[in-house]
Amino acid sequence: MKLTLTDWLVVAGYFLLNLVIGLYYRKKGSASTDDFFVSGREVSWWLAGTSMVATTFAADTPLWVTGQVVRRGVAANWFWWSFLLSGMMTVFFFARMWRRAEIITDVELVELRYAGKPAAFLRGFRAIYFGILINCIILGWVNLAMEKILGISLNIPKFWAVVICMAITAIYTSISGLWGVLWTDLVQFILKMGMLILLAVYAVRAVGGMDVLKTKLAAVDAARGAAVGGTGSILSFVPDLHSPWMPVMTFLVYIGVYWWSVWYPGAEPGGGGFVAQRIFCAKDEKNSLLATLWFNIAHYALRPWAWILTALCVVVLYPQLSLPGADAEGGFVRVWVDYLPGAFRGLMLAAFAAAYMSTIATQLNWGSSYLVNDFYRRFVARSKSDSHYVTVSKVSTMGLMVVSAAVSYLMQTVAGGWDMVVNIGAGTGAVYLLRWYWWRINAWSEISSMATAAAVSIALRFKSPFPDSDPNQFAENLVLTVIITTVVWVAVTLMTEPEPQTKLLEFYRRVRPGVAGWKHIAALAPEIAPTQDGWYNLMDWALGCLMVYMVLFAIGKLLLGATGTGLLFMAIAAVSGYIIYWDLSRRGWETLSGKGS
């Protein structure tokens, strides 16, 4: 694909805009570590929430979705759609408690919740484990996706593809901290969303229109069903019992086990990672709740169909990519190269750069916050000036850039990186949920769950390695890892001493969790009015999930021509949203702003 001078000027202008934003917020973002990592806790919900959405919209995401839809149909998206159940729990059960904690990273919560040497070890270990190991795996697969995009579209060598984009991202991230990340995320999200919607339009047009697309997909269904003896459609939102596209067992694992049991970036049970970081930067509890609510609506309902429609067109336009071993992920880029008019090529390249940079910027800043706040300042240099820690933060940001670029060379597929992170974190989710609501959870609960999950998942991977085409084996390994990990951490919890009463009381007074699992601690803090909103939060959680899924399915139905069903789903979503608004208004927004209990 050839780009004109105008195309290159568009791309250069995009990069320049990001650098200008970084320079503009250089002084404000470098005033202190609070400013560098949580923007001085001054951010409104719409900016914090949009930044979360932009971060999860990486260059790898449309490629991964394309690969899954080509191989397993629309229902394959339940791999990540199921995480809405966890995301809505963060909205109504955890966002306000995270904001009350007044910490810089979610790892810092460890020593707020637990005491002694086990807590100190856990905090330091998590800082290195997530800040370097897991973070660089994530950065590596995002790098890999960008390498593939630029390699297919422009034939740029792998090395230079990463160096150019990552260097610019690391520069503006290191000079402006989270302030620069937030505002560039906003610009990047608008650009990439607009261009990928445009790409979907041209992809459907290339097939011959929506009716032609559905007719040709029906032929693909018939051919695949005949080959494997199954029934069902690539367009099914929920797989049929004998679906040749998506195994029902895998689907049931996704909606029944996966979402609450697995640690995954952006969908951690109870919140965490960069989602927690955006909660910390919100002005108050009300803004933290609204930020996570907007994130879940935009992430799960408003965004997916631009990717899915293009992926469905890949099935028709490039049938060879459905064959085993073919690069189905690269089909998304091929649509851009082959069917997008030349006038938009520069903008599309800038959009992919935006998708890449929004995720890289957050991962660099987030990973650096762990290394500086939870390891360097906690264990290496405890009494330095704030300006010293800001300088170290900038250096660590650049260091993570170099390490992650090397990691990307070891990865073969984007999906392989996703599977690796999911399996390593399987079984730990229950601990992250219960540590807020059950006083008996201790530091050894977390340590044992993390160690067991990693050991079991690695052992299973070597014992029964599964190809990307075998989702059943993935589901079986996941369930077995969750069972073994849960048994181990529950046993360890009951066999070890609980946290000291003074530490539990400190945590209860500061965070104010639900009183049900903290009754004997709550009795020691009569000045804290007990929260009694658990059932209302549960109602809002259920309605929030219903609302988002209905919007998601409504958009799909409307695009595919089922107008009546689409409008019905939209009506259900509107009613659900209204009841949530009524409930939060009835309970009083002032309690969400930190003025009540």
Q: pLDDT tens digits, the chain, 597 residues: what are they? A: 677 788 888 888 888 888 888 888 888 877 788 888 888 899 999 999 999 998 888 777 888 899 989 988 999 999 899 999 999 999 999 999 999 999 999 999 999 999 999 999 999 999 998 888 888 777 777 777 777 777 777 776 656 656 666 666 667 677 777 888 888 889 989 998 999 999 999 999 999 999 999 999 999 988 887 776 677 889 999 988 777 777 888 889 989 998 999 887 778 899 988 899 999 999 999 999 999 999 999 999 999 999 999 999 999 999 998 887 788 888 998 998 899 888 788 888 888 888 877 888 788 888 888 999 999 999 998 888 888 988 888 888 888 877 776 666 565 554 555 566 666 777 899 999 999 999 999 999 999 999 998 888 878 777 665 444 566 777 888 888 899 999 999 999 999 999 999 999 999 999 999 888 999 999 999 988 877 678 899 999 999 999 999 999 999 999 999 999 999 999 999 999 999 999 998 887 655 554 433
Answer whether residue 471 is part of any domain: no
Answer whether residue 520 is part of any domain: no
Answer whether residue 360 is part of any domain: yes
Domain boundary among 411, 431, 464: 411
Answer whether residue 508 is part of any domain: no
Domain count, the chain: 2
CATH number of the structural domain spanning residue 171 = 1.20.1730.10
Answer whether residue 474 is part of any domain: no
Give the count of beta carbons closer than 10 Å to the beta carbon of residue 434.
19
Q: Which of 582, 505, 449 is nearest to 113 (CA)?
A: 505
Answer whether residue 503 is part of any domain: no
Q: 538 and 400: one domain?
A: no
Answer whether residue 573 is part of any domain: yes
CA angle 261, 455, 87 (to 5 degrees): 20
Which residues have C-beta within 8 Å of that of residue 3, sequence separation ≥ 6?
11, 154, 345, 346, 349
Answer whether residue 425 is part of any domain: no
Q: Which amino acid is at 461?
A: R
- Long-range contacts of 206-214, Cβ-Cβ distance < 8 Å, separation of 24 or more: 206/313, 206/317, 206/335, 206/338, 206/339, 207/313, 207/316, 207/317, 210/559, 210/560, 210/561, 211/561, 213/312, 213/313, 213/316, 214/560, 214/561
Residue 566: domain span: 532-597
Domain boundary among 362, 393, 411: 411
Q: For residue 52, how many C-alpha atoms fall within 13 Å in the half-sphere facing its CB?
A: 35
pTM, two decimals, is: 0.89
3-state helix, strand, coil in the chain (%, to 5): 80, 0, 20
Q: 401 and 546: one domain?
A: no
Which residues have C-beta within 8 Å of that of residue 333, sequence separation ≥ 6?
63, 148, 149, 152, 153
What's the pLDDT at 408? Answer: 63
Q: 550 and 407: one domain?
A: no
Domain boundary among 411, 427, 444: 411
Angle of helix 45-56 relative to helix 273-281, nearest 10 degrees? Answer: 160
Q: 224 and 357: one domain?
A: yes
